[in-house]
């Protein structure tokens, strides 16, 4: 064993103050040369390793948590935009149906129209407040909705005086909604879906950083302990063992939690998220189809385009509702049954109209009986709204659940990393002290 | 001489129209053409179908009736019998043309001069009870000829102008109403004639004679086309177009729905209206012509006119026959 001379020999002439660089080199040599020096070197690596673990684990867990939280807020925004679309087509369906009745519109239809527009406007304001990215598109949609309601009021005013010009205003209004308000919202839904997909995949690699930090810290800890055992003939260094154990426990728990969180999030994506998007789409298509039914009758024999539009919308809604019923609960089943019932009423309406009984068709489409289109469609509306409400609440909860432990564990990992580093310093200095 | 007289009458009618509109919401309409009680067959020969592809609307000759109007049910082997057997007559009409074919917003039912004409045809085929026997197909102008050619409708009663090009595709009854085209402008605008709207936006319906007339007579006017003529009125009220060119029958309907609109200038075309019928149903054309002739003489035509248009009731447009049977 070499002993390092640290003092100056007595009586030597006082040397010139050495240049600063030389002093540093001397101190470094004194610190890191020989066995105690190596101990200090390994100690430094161990400390670094523990800190890196703490930091990497913190970054990995918190970036995953923030990704899930942005997925959650993107999903909430998606739900809002779908709600705007739904309320607009809901209002339009009530409007066109009321128009079909002729004369004074039924108060219930009028208030349903107003409620739809009011909810759409509030949700528009809310959605553009939440996302600066969406604000421009939403402001545009808001303008179109204002124009739409203006045209609708012109239609009403003309109608009340008995002017057929009201029909032209109504046609303009429904067309404006379908060309200038609904398509940008549909695009926004796609954008939001892409954002959610980004959030899902964006920090999927975070877990690798955690594993790298964990392996690095454990490797250095293990190597140092084996080396120390060889040099000092003491098998265990309690502080280092404690630090290793803490790193292993926290690391493994964190890896497991992240894996669980990921699988929970993936499960949510293919269940509650998917169901939320699909159910909202089914509702939008259904209301749109209901409008198309009224517009077909208003066009009185030249509404083929509206009728085709009804068929493709209803087909799409049926497909989605069948899938939803297969995977969902009682409400999805009820929604599916109610929509099928509505479609059979629609068939009757078409049959009446096609055989020339327009008045009979209108009576079925606007009547107040439980077997008439409005009541049957109302059953679908209630059931599908309930199913959608449950699914979107589930989506919110699932994403919160998947995120909640990550935030806490991120901080725990950081603290444990620092604590392990401190403990390791203690462990190394114990051996250093013994060495003197 | 006859032409001069006609123009004079029409100008007077136009002036009356403007005055009527400014007075308020009373529907105003030009009177029918020069008084003429002569229903004598026109001696002029029928133009051949081939080679006729212009908008000449002076040739209003239709097929002469084969005899007096047969009683309902007495139609062996005819188009009328087919319609009767089918149980309903399918008719192309407008729903947005106040006074002629419109959906009454209060009752939701179709009403107007053209609808009354349809009802008369239905009575002639089905007798007293025609409830549920008339199937209306609300059409825009561009759909009328394709629907007649495909047999989707048996009859079109939709302020349809008789002209040479259309005669090469479908058949018409004799003239049952005489209108002309004018322009609708804002009340405070300086325009007194369509020609002053050069470079301005003017709205017409796709496939209408208004669009064709503007192109040939006023090519410098910027045309805006819409599917339904009433969409023009929405654009007009929103200020996107300066004027609307259409038949004065349509325009006076618009003007009575908007106190800030007026009809300007003279009629720059003649628009003789006929009921459109598929070209091959010659027997039906002759049947309808016999009915129209009865209506002209027994006062039914005047009753319908009085119901929808302001007094005085003019003489009905004379029947002109002489078109050779195909």
DSSP conformation letters of A26-80: HHHHHHHSHHHHHHHHHHHHHHHHHHHHHHHHHHHHHHHHHHHHHHHHHHHHHHH
Query: Do B243 and B231 reside in the same domain of the chain?
Result: yes
Quote the pLDDT of residue B28: 47
Domain membership flag for residue A95: no
Q: Which residue has the tokens 């057929």?
A: A164
Domain membership flag for residue A142: no
Structural domain count, chain B? 2
Quote the pLDDT of residue B53: 56
Contact criterion met (CB < 8 Å) for B257 and A300: no
A227: which residues sit within 8 A by CB, 6+ positions away?
A38, A42
Domain membership flag for residue B148: yes
Domain membership flag for residue B324: no
Quote the pLDDT of residue B54: 61
Query: Do B101 and B146 reside in the same domain of the chain?
Result: yes
Query: Do B194 and B254 reside in the same domain of the chain?
Result: yes
Structural domain count, chain A? 1
Quote the pLDDT of residue A82: 93
Domain membership flag for residue A309: yes
Domain membership flag for residue B121: yes
Instruction: Going from the first residue of chain A to its last (436 residues), give the mean pLDDT of each consecutive group of 10, the final group possibly shorter.
Output: 46 61 77 78 91 92 90 91 94 92 83 95 94 92 96 91 88 94 94 89 80 92 89 84 93 92 89 90 95 89 85 96 88 94 96 84 91 94 94 91 91 94 90 77
Query: Do B214 and B265 reside in the same domain of the chain?
Result: yes
Low-confidence winner among A287-296, B44-53, B217-226 (lowest mean pLDDT)? B44-53
Length of chain A measured in residues: 436
Domain membership flag for residue A166: no
Is residue B49 pLDDT above 50, yes or no? Answer: no
Chain A, nearest residue to B135 by Cα = A356
- B201 vs A225: CA distance, rounded Å: 91
Range of the domain at A75: 38-83+199-435
- The percent of residues in chain B predicted with pLDDT above 90, rounded, is 56
Residue pLDDT, tens place only, B120-129 = 999 999 998 9
Section B256-265 average pLDDT: 92
A163 to chain B, closest Cα gap in Å: 6
Contact criterion met (CB < 8 Å) for A168 and B104: no
Domain membership flag for residue B64: no
Range of the domain at B239: 181-269
Query: Do B165 and B282 reside in the same domain of the chain?
Result: yes
Domain membership flag for residue B142: yes
* Least CB–CB distance from A357: residue in B132, B139, B228: B132
Domain membership flag for residue A315: yes
Give the predicted TM-score (pTM) of the model.
Answer: 0.79
Could you tell me the pLDDT band of residue B171, with boundaries at 50, 70 and 90?
A: very high
- The percent of residues in chain B predicted with pLDDT above 70, rounded, is 83
Quote the pLDDT of residue B50: 44
Length of chain B measured in residues: 326
Q: In CATH, what number is assigned to the domain containing residue B225?
A: 3.40.190.10
Whether B24 and chain A come into contact, CB under 8 Å, resolves to no
Domain membership flag for residue A285: yes
ipTM higher than threshold 0.85: no
Question: What values do phi and psi take at B197, rounded to 5?
Answer: -95, 15
Domain membership flag for residue B211: yes
Query: Do B173 and B299 reside in the same domain of the chain?
Result: yes
Domain membership flag for residue A104: no
In this structure, what token pair is assigned to residue B109?
A: 């039912």
Query: Do B145 and B278 reside in the same domain of the chain?
Result: yes
Domain membership flag for residue B104: yes
Query: Do B89 and B235 reside in the same domain of the chain?
Result: no
Could you tell me the pLDDT band of residue B237, with boundaries at 50, 70 and 90?
A: very high
Quote the pLDDT of residue A415: 95
Quote the pLDDT of residue A29: 73
Domain membership flag for residue B321: no
Whether A150 and chain B come into contact, CB under 8 Å, resolves to no
Could you tell me the pLDDT band of residue B151, with boundaries at 50, 70 and 90?
A: very high
Query: Do B124 and B261 reside in the same domain of the chain?
Result: no
Domain membership flag for residue A212: yes
Query: Do B289 and B302 reside in the same domain of the chain?
Result: yes
Query: Do B210 and B167 reside in the same domain of the chain?
Result: no
Whether B140 and chain A come into contact, CB under 8 Å, resolves to yes
- A230 vs B182: CA distance, rounded Å: 111
């Amino acid at each position: 064993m070499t002993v390092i001379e640290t003092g100056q020999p007595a009586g030597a002439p006082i040397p010139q103050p050495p240049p600063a660089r030389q002093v540093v080199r001397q101190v470094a040599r004194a610190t890191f040369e020989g066995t105690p020096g190596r101990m200090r070197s390994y100690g430094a690596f161990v400390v670094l390793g523990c800190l890196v673990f703490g930091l990497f684990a913190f970054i990995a867990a918190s970036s995953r948590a923030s990704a899930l939280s942005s997925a959650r807020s993107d999903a909430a925004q998606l739900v809002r935009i779908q709600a705007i679309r739904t309320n607009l087509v809901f209002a339009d369906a009530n409007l066109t149906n009321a128009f079909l009745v002729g004369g004074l519109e039924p108060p219930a239809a009028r208030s349903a129209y107003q409620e739809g527009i009011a909810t759409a406007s509030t949700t528009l304001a809310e959605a553009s407040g939440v996302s600066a990215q969406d604000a421009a598109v939403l402001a545009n949609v808001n303008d179109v909705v204002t124009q739409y309601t203006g045209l609708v009021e012109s239609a009403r005013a003309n109608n009340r005086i008995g002017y057929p010009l009201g029909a032209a205003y109504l046609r303009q209004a429904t067309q404006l909604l379908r060309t200038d308000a609904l398509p940008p919202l549909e695009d926004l839904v796609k954008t939001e879906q892409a954002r959610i997909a980004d959030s899902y995949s964006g920090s999927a690699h975070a877990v690798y950083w955690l594993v790298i930090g964990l392996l690095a810290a454990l490797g250095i800890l293990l190597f140092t302990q084996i080396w120390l055992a060889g040099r000092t003939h003491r098998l265990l260094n309690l502080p280092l063992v404690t630090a290793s154990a803490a790193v292993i426990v926290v690391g493994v728990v964190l890896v497991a939690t992240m894996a669980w969180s990921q699988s929970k999030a993936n499960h949510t994506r293919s269940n509650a998220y998917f169901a939320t998007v699909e159910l909202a789409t089914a509702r939008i298509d259904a209301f749109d189809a209901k409008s198309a039914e009224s517009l077909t009758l208003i066009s009185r024999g030249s509404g083929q385009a509206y009728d085709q539009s009804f068929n493709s919308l209803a087909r799409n809604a049926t497909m989605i509702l069948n899938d939803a019923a297969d995977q969902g609960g009682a409400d999805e089943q009820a929604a599916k049954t109610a929509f099928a019932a509505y479609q059979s009423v629609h068939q009757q309406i078409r049959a009446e109209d096609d055989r020339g009984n327009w008045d009979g068709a209108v009576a079925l489409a606007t009547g107040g009986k439980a077997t008439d289109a409005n009541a049957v469609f109302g059953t679908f509306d209630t059931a599908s709204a309930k199913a959608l409400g449950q699914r979107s609440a589930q989506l919110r909860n699932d994403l919160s659940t998947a995120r909640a432990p990550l935030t806490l564990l991120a901080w725990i990992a950081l603290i444990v990393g620092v604590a392990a580093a401190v403990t390791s310093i203690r462990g190394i200095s114990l051996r250093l002290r013994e060495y003197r | 001489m006859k032409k001069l007289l006609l123009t004079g009458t029409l100008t007077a009618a136009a002036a009356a129209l403007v005055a009527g509109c400014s007075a308020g919401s009373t529907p105003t309409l030009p009177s029918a053409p020069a008084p003429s009680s002569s229903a004598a067959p026109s001696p002029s020969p029928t133009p051949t179908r081939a080679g006729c592809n212009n908008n000449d609307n002076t040739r209003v000759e239709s097929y002469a009736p084969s005899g007096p109007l047969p009683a309902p049910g007495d139609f062996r082997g005819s188009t009328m019998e087919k319609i009767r057997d089918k149980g309903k007559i399918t008719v192309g009409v407008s729903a947005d043309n106040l006074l002629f074919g419109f959906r009454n917003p209060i009752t939701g039912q179709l009403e107007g001069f053209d609808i009354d004409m349809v009802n008369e045809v239905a009575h002639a085929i089905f007798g007293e009870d025609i409830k549920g026997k008339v199937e209306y197909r609300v059409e825009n102008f561009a759909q009328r000829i394709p629907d007649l050619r495909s047999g989707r409708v048996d009859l079109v009663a939709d302020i349809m102008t008789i002209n040479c090009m259309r005669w090469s595709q479908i058949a018409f009854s004799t003239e049952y109403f005489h209108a002309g085209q004018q322009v609708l402008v804002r009340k405070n605008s300086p325009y007194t004639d369509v020609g002053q709207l050069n470079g301005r936006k003017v709205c017409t319906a796709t496939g209408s004679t208004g669009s064709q007339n503007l192109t040939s007579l006023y090519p410098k006017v910027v045309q805006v086309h819409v599917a339904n003529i009433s969409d023009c009125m929405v654009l007009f009220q929103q200020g996107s177009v300066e004027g609307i060119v259409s038949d004065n029958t349509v325009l006076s309907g618009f003007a009575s729905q908007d106190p800030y609109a007026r009809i300007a200038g003279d009629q720059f075309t003649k628009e003789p209206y006929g009921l459109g019928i598929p070209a091959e149903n010659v027997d039906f054309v002759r049947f309808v012509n016999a009915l129209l002739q009865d209506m002209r003489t027994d006062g039914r035509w005047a009753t319908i006119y009085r119901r929808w248009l302001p007094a005085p009731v003019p003489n009905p447009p004379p029947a002109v026959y002489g078109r050779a049977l195909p």
